[in-house]
Amino acid sequence: MERFKTLRVRFALWVALLVMSALVLFGAFVYWSLARNLETAMDDSLRLSATQAMAAVNYENGQINFGDALPEKADASPLTARGLAIRILNLQGVLLGGFGDYRHVPLPPETFATTPSEPLFSTLPDTRNQNLLRIYSAPIVEEGQPVGIIQVAQSSASVQETLNQLLRALVIGGVALMALAAGGGYFLAARALAPIDRMTQTARRISAQDLSARLNLPATDDEVGRLASTLDLMLERLEASIQRERQFATDASHDLRTPLAAIQAILDVTRAQPRSAAEYERALDDLEFETQRLNTLTENLLQLARGEARLDLAREPIDAALLLKDVCASMQPLAQAKGLTLRCEIESALRLRGDSDELARMFVNLLENAMKYTERGGVTVTARADGKSIRIQIQDTGRGISAEHLPHIFDRFYRADASRSTEGTGLGLAIAREIARAHGGNIQARSVEGKGATFVVSLPRAPNS
């Protein structure tokens, strides 16, 4: 029974059922058409034979008989040679004569119910066998008055045999065609579903530990080919996503373990022997620094989780020009401490809708990142309206970013310094990009190593700006 649940078998059964239904309808139409045509041909033959026989009928002195136009021997008559039985009756139904095997022809009950005036056909069972007799009765008219009846009868055995042969041919041909259709349907279904089987087998091999398997079906411009291509692309995205999650877990563990290990080391060293007040104060300062580092990393991770969860941000009217000026003012002390210049060239009335705290956090992350990797020179912030967008550009004169690292700088925990000796968590740019995307915008970066880097933020303007 399990095989009947497969699409191949069900498709083959449906094809066979449809073919059988079509053949039944077609066969019924052909059978009915042929039967009707044969019956019409028989009636026409009986009518013609009666007309020919009536031409040989004589009526003299109240007597009806056949003249010399028909031979006396019935076997020689071309009419009886076709299996016809011809006879003459008077109006009372008394047999007057005939040709062929007319004595076995029963009398139609309706023939003498009234004086016949119009020809009529009757179908009666043959008393000698199981066949039917088709009888044509027509009045013999003399001087406008019916004087007798002529009847021509013929067995329907030949018609029935022809119909039986047709029925046998339809049944045998129908069964053969139905079997052929079922086999062909199964074969076509097997060919069409073969790629689906390969997809199923590949899917069974795929697990969270190994997403490298691909369908790799031949490229075809049909539904199955497009499905296979789409599934391969989906698997590639899933593999890349899981790899990012694994890398995220590894990097998070590394960055969380570092301050925790430092805190544990400070505690172990401090408790190893009695210390002076100054040494305890230095230890507390070190603990505060590592705790602050751990707190910053935790907040950044929560910020990323919040962005990926697509939490609703506040959508309030914001003047981006004032917000940027406030951020630049707050970052001036950091720039001065490093001996850098911070210039802000900001157009007025740059209106947008969003969360001012999140946007300020994004700009602070970008400015901190620019100052961190700039040893001399400075950072320039420009902001202007660009059609339906606000374009904010942050350009520094620092060390720049190599082409190798540029595509990955927005990845979480990514740092070009493989040793991770650079201060920071590697989450600032990732958080900035999440905030920009949450506001319907984006961040792009371009850089030439040794010549600084430029970050461009695009945010949608408020509709009435």
Long-range contacts of 441-446 (CB under 8 A, 24+ apart): 441/389, 443/366, 443/410, 445/401, 445/406, 445/409, 445/410, 446/406
Rounded to whole angstroms, the Cα distance separating 229 from 232 reads 5
Q: What is the pLDDT of residue 421?
A: 42
**296 plus 320 within the same structural domain:** no
- CATH number assigned to the domain comprising residue 10: 3.30.450.20
**9 plus 157 within the same structural domain:** yes
- CATH number assigned to the domain comprising residue 414: 3.30.565.10
Q: What is the pLDDT of residue 308?
A: 53
Q: What is the pLDDT of residue 89?
A: 83
Angle between helices 320-337 and 356-372 (to 10 degrees): 30
**423 plus 281 within the same structural domain:** no
Q: Mean pLDDT for each consecutive 10-residue tract of the chain (465 residues)?
A: 65 83 90 91 87 79 64 48 76 77 71 65 78 85 81 84 90 87 80 74 68 67 72 77 70 67 80 83 81 73 58 75 89 87 87 86 88 89 89 90 83 56 63 86 88 91 73
Rounded to whole angstroms, the Cα distance separating 309 from 297 reads 18
Range of the domain at 66: 2-161
- CATH number assigned to the domain comprising residue 267: 1.10.287.130
**123 plus 240 within the same structural domain:** no
**17 plus 93 within the same structural domain:** yes
**349 plus 431 within the same structural domain:** yes
The alpha carbon of residue 311 and the mean position of all alpha carbons in its chain are separated, in whole angstroms, by: 33
**241 plus 342 within the same structural domain:** no
DSSP H helices, 339-385, are 356-372
**316 plus 447 within the same structural domain:** yes
Rounded to whole angstroms, the Cα distance separating 60 from 57 reads 10
Boundary-marking domain end, from 282, 306, 330 = 306
Rounded to whole angstroms, the Cα distance separating 378 from 389 reads 26
Boundary-marking domain end, from 306, 323, 341 = 306
Total of domains in the chain? 3
Q: What CA–CA distances, in Å, run from 362 to 173, 196, 327, 359? A: 79, 47, 10, 5
Q: What is the largest CA-CA distance in the chain?
A: 166
User: In sequence order, what are the residues at sequence separation of 6 or more whose Cβ sits closer than 8 angstroms to the Cβ of residue 344?
Assistant: 324, 325, 328, 380, 381, 382
**297 plus 327 within the same structural domain:** no
Q: What is the pLDDT of residue 76?
A: 37
**266 plus 325 within the same structural domain:** no
CA-based radius of gyration for the chain: 52
Q: Is residue 201 part of a domain?
A: no
**274 plus 358 within the same structural domain:** no
Boundary-marking domain end, from 161, 184, 215 = 161
Q: Is residue 188 part of a domain?
A: no
Q: Is residue 179 part of a domain?
A: no
Q: Is residue 137 part of a domain?
A: yes
Q: Is residue 17 part of a domain?
A: yes
Q: Is residue 195 part of a domain?
A: no
Q: Is residue 210 part of a domain?
A: no
Enter the pTM of the model: 0.46
Q: Is residue 197 part of a domain?
A: no
Rounded to whole angstroms, the Cα distance separating 294 from 279 reads 22
**435 plus 365 within the same structural domain:** yes
